[in-house]
Amino acid sequence: MRVVTIISVLLLSMVMAAHAAAEKELQVGFVYVSPIGDAGYSYAHDKGRQAVEGMDGVKTSYVESVKEGPDSERVILNMARKGYDLIFATSFGYMDPMLKVARQFPKTVFMHCAGFKKADNMGNYFGRMYQARYLSGMVAGAMSKSNILGYVAAFPIPEVIRGINAFTLGAQAVNPEVSVRVVWTKTWYDPATEKEAAKSLLDVGADVIAQHQDSPGPQEAAQEKGVYSIGYNSDMSGFAPKAHLTAAIWNWGPYYSEIVRQVQDGSWKAEAAWRGMDAGIVELAPFGPMVPKQLQDQVRAKQEEIVSGAFHVFSGPIKDQQGAVKIPAGSMATDQEMLGMTWFVQGVVGTTE
Amino acid sequence: MPRFRIIKRQERLGWRSCFIFLAAILLSLLFSGVMLALRGTPPLEGILILFKGAFGSRWAIEDSLIKAIPIFLCSLGVAMAFRLQIWNIGAEGQFALGAIGATWMALSFPELPQLVLLPLMVGMACVAGGCWGLIPAILRQRLGTNEIIVTLMMNYIAILLLDYLVYGVWKDPTSFGFPMTAEFVPQAIVGKIGSSGVNWGILHCLLLGILFWVFVTFTRTGFELRASGDSVRAARYAGIPYSGLVVLVMVISGALAGWAGFLEASATINRLQPSIMVGYGYTAIVVAWLARLHPLNIAVTSLLLAGLRVGVENLQLDLQVPAAFGGILEGLILMTVLAGGFFVHYRIVSVRQP
């Protein structure tokens, strides 16, 4: 009995000590929608968190697998109550819950990813993933022999639709014959479902599988069938080395570090940030060895154009699936139009519902 | 050398069986502590943080209470059907239909005063959830289908229907194409009690729980329900209208889950969106079993399980324990408590060999 008492006292004092030391540091909390071991979306955000953790005077923590809705409100609220100074919520569904909490804690800085609402102490941010999608589409379109590309997609929301459209436009730019078939899984993270969805695409003749999903399931399906794949979120080549052509990936480290610095020196202001490849938030993973040098150069050249602003992915003329001109020649989609995109471009096989 | 033998208890344990329950929980916590220690987290501190996050402060208790509300109502409904040995696995779908019914009213009559609109929402939620329970009941009695399969399958239909509505006709035009209805008008929202964070849904739970208890314990139908649950054949022989009971029980079961859907949409999310579905309907089954179908036990178990889920978030935040730990702990508790149920009826005695 005495041993137990001694141990508990020791443990308690350790807790107290750790608490006292942490007091002057900037506490940064992250809320993730899936487990950080998913090798995907939350994994990418967590790498950003690790970059922040390495900064001076910063302490970070996170809660993973937080369901969108009431659960997320409680998690964010709990962080705010515990005195976290800066909270990143990294999924669209956290928007309204975060806004509710932000109103109650005016001194805490809130950052919401992938949404559109703002407050004095709440900013929103996202990356122009469609730029990398376009480039990965070029690779897929050029590597396809059947001219059918498969796309395993989570939910028919603008972010995903925009990515599919950009991917299709990129593929069409190098291969006008190509069509993109879309399957909705209605889940962000479910390795088995995603893999099955990829197999259904392989069965209709797709020979490159792309994905807007958080697990490498579709990559594995492609490798097993002996065809190619395009990853998402992080470099997924480790899961399917023979299939993985490249991936459209997130690189949050620099952006998160910048925001933390701004909060530290008091220069932070709520804004709606939508940064692209020029800011390094969005990247293309290294090419697999099967991608010909010439194609690599072509894609890299296009990337330069995107970074310099010489090329815009959604520049007209762009038609929808019915053939109606949505973006006329000579103009390009505004940010508002892209953020609310609910229609597919010509060449996509599937519905947005 | 002592040998052990299992013998049946001569007298019922009664209230003392709660010690077995407590011992089971302690055992599962011990296992969890070992697991925490194995991954290098101080186990005592871990369990302490878990409890602090669940019940350690006013906020924590409020959070746990809020989370317990939908679990409790769904579980009450499920327990009602289980009493009759009707295996309603469809609380999830009935919950979805309830949320849909309530939202329908909220979106259709936003100009009504709160005193009219809220009862209308509750009514429609119960009707919609009840109908979702009625269909498998009728199929079972008329066509002899298995209610486990039908209720389970109807969950998917319900969730797809919800998706169809929020991605389609009910989508808020100002939401940039994201799937959600417009926020409810203030009259359609169940408010919070005073300055606390807990909504009036907790009072609904209390009233419905008491009604449930009175119905099962003191009414004739309640008696028939318990009798038929013990033996269908005996009940039929005694002239109890078994088919009618099945239908009644499934409708009540669905209506209670629907009520939970109404509260979740109105009080906590203030709109309908796909993320309203987080599996309370399935949690309800676990809770009903752990609680042995008794309303008071269901209340306690819902609160404990809700607290566990809330507390694990705290554990994650402070010690960075993976989210999966919560699931493991939940599974351990279910396992030890169900295994502990054995000792309610049996005991182990040591016998000395001559």
- Min Cα distance B199 → chain A (Å) is 13
Task: Report the number of distinct structural domains present in chain B.
Answer: 1
Confirm whether B148 is domain-assigned. yes
Residues spanned by the domain of A15? 2-127
Mark which residues 290-329 of B lie under 8 Å from A by CB: 310, 313-314, 316-318, 320, 322-324
Q: How confident is the model at residue A182 (pLDDT cuts 50, 70, 90)?
A: very high
Residue A21 has pLDDT above 80, yes or no: no
pLDDT tens for each residue of A285-320: 999 999 999 999 999 999 999 999 999 999 989 999
Q: How confident is the model at residue B192 (pLDDT cuts 50, 70, 90)?
A: very high
- Min Cα distance B227 → chain A (Å) is 40
Q: Do residues A93 and A232 both lie within one domain?
A: no
Residue A177 has pLDDT above 90, yes or no: yes
Contact B275 A75 (CB under 8 A): no
* Residues in contact with A305: Cβ distance below 8 Å, sequence separation at least 6, in sequence order: A311
Confirm whether B319 is domain-assigned. no
Considering chain A, what is the average pLDDT of its residues? 91
Residues spanned by the domain of B74? 70-298
Q: Do residues A28 and A177 both lie within one domain?
A: no
Distance CA A296, CA B182 (A): 46
At A24, the amino acid letter reads K
Cβ contacts of B63 on chain A, cutoff 8 Å: 74, 77-78
CB atoms near residue A344 (< 10 Å): 22
- Min Cα distance B275 → chain A (Å) is 6
Q: How confident is the model at residue B345 (pLDDT cuts 50, 70, 90)?
A: confident
pLDDT at A22: 45
Contact A64 B316 (CB under 8 A): yes
Q: Do residues A27 and A151 both lie within one domain?
A: no
Question: Per mean pLDDT, which range of B97-106, B175-184, B232-241 is the poorest?
Answer: B175-184
pLDDT at A68: 87
pLDDT at A2: 52
The 3-state DSSP class for residue A115 equals: coil
pLDDT at A17: 47
Task: Report the number of distinct structural domains present in chain A.
Answer: 2
Identify the H or E element spanning A294: helix A293-308
Confirm whether A265 is domain-assigned. no
User: Which residues of chain B form beta strands (DSSP E)?
Assistant: 2-8, 346-352
pLDDT at A4: 53
Of the partner residues B42, B178, B313, the one whose CB lies closest to the CB of residue A11: B42
pLDDT tens for each residue of B24-62: 989 999 999 999 999 888 999 999 999 999 999 999 999
Distance CA A97, CA B5 (A): 56
Q: Do residues A46 and A146 both lie within one domain?
A: no
Q: Do residues A80 and A149 both lie within one domain?
A: no
Cα radius of gyration rounded to whole Å, chain B: 22
Confirm whether A101 is domain-assigned. yes
Confirm whether A230 is domain-assigned. yes
Residue ending a domain, choose from A127, A144, A169: A127
Residue of B nearest to A22 (CA): B318
Confirm whether B269 is domain-assigned. yes
Confirm whether A322 is domain-assigned. yes
Residue B220 has pLDDT above 90, yes or no: yes
Task: Give the residue numbers in A contacting B (CB under 8 Å), as ranges.
Answer: 7-8, 11-12, 14-15, 29, 35, 37, 61-71, 73-75, 77-79, 81-82, 92-93, 96, 116, 155-158, 161, 186, 339-342, 353
pLDDT at A20: 47
- Determine the residue among B275, B315, B319 to mutate to test chain A binding: the one whose Cβ has the most chain A Cβ atoms within 10 Å: B275
Confirm whether A275 is domain-assigned. no
pLDDT tens for each residue of A253-270: 999 999 999 999 999 999
Q: What is the CATH number of the domain that holds A286?
A: 3.40.50.2300
Confirm whether B81 is domain-assigned. yes
The answer to whether residue B178 neighbours chain A at the CB level (below 8 Å) is: yes
- Min Cα distance A117 → chain B (Å) is 10
Q: How confident is the model at residue A3 (pLDDT cuts 50, 70, 90)?
A: low
Range A26-35 average pLDDT: 94
Range A78-94 average pLDDT: 94
Q: Do residues A93 and A213 both lie within one domain?
A: no
Confirm whether B77 is domain-assigned. yes
pLDDT at B1: 62
Q: How confident is the model at residue A1 (pLDDT cuts 50, 70, 90)?
A: very low
Range B147-174 average pLDDT: 93
Range A115-123 average pLDDT: 92
Range A191-200 average pLDDT: 95
Q: Is A309 exposed, middle or buried (0-12, 13-18, 19+ CB in 10 A)?
A: exposed
Contact B167 A156 (CB under 8 A): yes
Range B99-127 average pLDDT: 96
Tell me the two tokens of residue A21.
Answer: 């030391």
